[in-house]
Chain A
Amino acid sequence: MKTYLVKVVIENKASARDPEGETILKDLLIKGGYKKVKAVRTAKLLKMWVEAENDKEAKEMVSKLCDELRIYNPVAHTCSINAEGE
């Protein structure tokens, strides 16, 4: 059994506005001279260290718990999960 780092990224769906991302773009990046940046979306990152036989099993376990415990609200959020190895 190895320990894997699994990263869970929760962000608003494209149809739900992200005012924090909009403010970062408009009032920090554009004003700071980075006009080639066209959009910013903020997200919440959860890092989980889980014991599993392989990265596939680690990802599946985290995916299951995210759905079961409603780690994200499927009405408003998307959730992406990546296992990064030991």
Chain B
Amino acid sequence: MRVAIIQFPGSNCDFDTLHVLNNVMNVKANLVWHKSDDLRDYDAVILPGGFSYGDRLRAGIIAAHSPVMKEVRRMAKDGYPILGICNGFQILIESGLLPGALLRNSSLKFICKWVNLSVISNKAIFTHKIKKNHLLKMPIAHNEGRYFIEEDDLKELYKRDQIILKYADEYGKISERSNPNGSIDGIAGICNDEGNVFGLMPHPERASEKLLSPFNTNNGKIIFSSMIEYVKER
């Protein structure tokens, strides 16, 4: 299998993601410039974190119009795994591949810290190997991560089991205190109705090696291994 990691002007987690796929997961991956209009050689796509186009106008909106997104849409429609991490999540939202909006953090501050995430659903390809309510430790690093959606659409997300990750405390309790950015219901990651397009604000690629974790954990790996397993079985 081969994974495409899309590079937009301002992506800065592209090489971290490449390193994890190549050297931790032992999977072939390539960096693909956003002007590419052909992803036919790939089995999965990752939109990495960073600050595409310097977050101008709104985080993710300009990258959402990049030529490569036409191919990403095609692959999303055909059921291929599409993962958006942080700015990649913002790009998936702004391209309409995922519902909702990511607004400025309620603290008005850039937040960079490790958080606990409760797995709410294993509907996404990327969480299908994880038990519900399992806790994952990963870092967040963002300024616009406050997930917002209107009340009726939120109900629809619950109904369709599209809410995948929520911010929790170290015991798994989800509360205002465990919510770092003011996201509605503490939402940290959602998927599309089919489960193949998944976006999350935390960084699994920074949490896939014990050496890099203050807790000696590598919880991010399971997001990638779930994706790899799915592609191999497909």
Q: Does A37 contact B (CB under 8 A)?
A: no
Stretch at the interface among B2-10, B56-64, B191-199: B56-64
Stretch at the interface among A47-55, A56-64, A66-74: A66-74
Q: Give bound CA distance, A86 to B112, whole Å.
A: 46
Interface SS majority for chain B: loop
Q: Does A2 contact B (CB under 8 A)?
A: no
Q: Does B41 contact A (CB under 8 A)?
A: no
- By a CB distance below 8 angstroms, the chain B residues around A71 are 57, 61
With contact pairs A12-B103, A75-B101 given, residues A20 and B108 touching in the complex (Cβ less than 8 Å): yes
Q: Give bound CA distance, A23 to B94, whole Å.
A: 27
Q: Give bound CA distance, A75 to B57, whole Å.
A: 16
- By a CB distance below 8 angstroms, the chain B residues around A16 are 101, 103, 148
* Interface size counted on chain A using CB atoms at 8 A: 15
Interface string of A1-32 (1 = CB under 8 A from B): 00000000000110111011001000000000
Tell whether, in the assembled complex, residue A17 and residue B151 are in contact, meaning their CB atoms are under 8 Å apart: no
With contact pairs A70-B64, A70-B94, A75-B153 given, residues A19 and B58 touching in the complex (Cβ less than 8 Å): no
Q: Give bound CA distance, A20 to B105, whole Å.
A: 10
Interface string of B76-98 (1 = CB under 8 A from A): 00000000000000000110100
Q: Give bound CA distance, A78 to B212, whole Å.
A: 42
- By a CB distance below 8 angstroms, the chain B residues around A76 are 100-101, 103, 148
- By a CB distance below 8 angstroms, the chain A residues around B65 are 69
Most buried by B among A13, A17, A23, A77: A17
User: Told that A70-B64, A73-B94 touch, could you supply 11 new A-B pairs with CB distance under 8 A?
Assistant: A12-B103, A13-B150, A15-B151, A16-B103, A20-B104, A70-B61, A75-B100, A75-B148, A76-B100, A76-B103, A76-B148
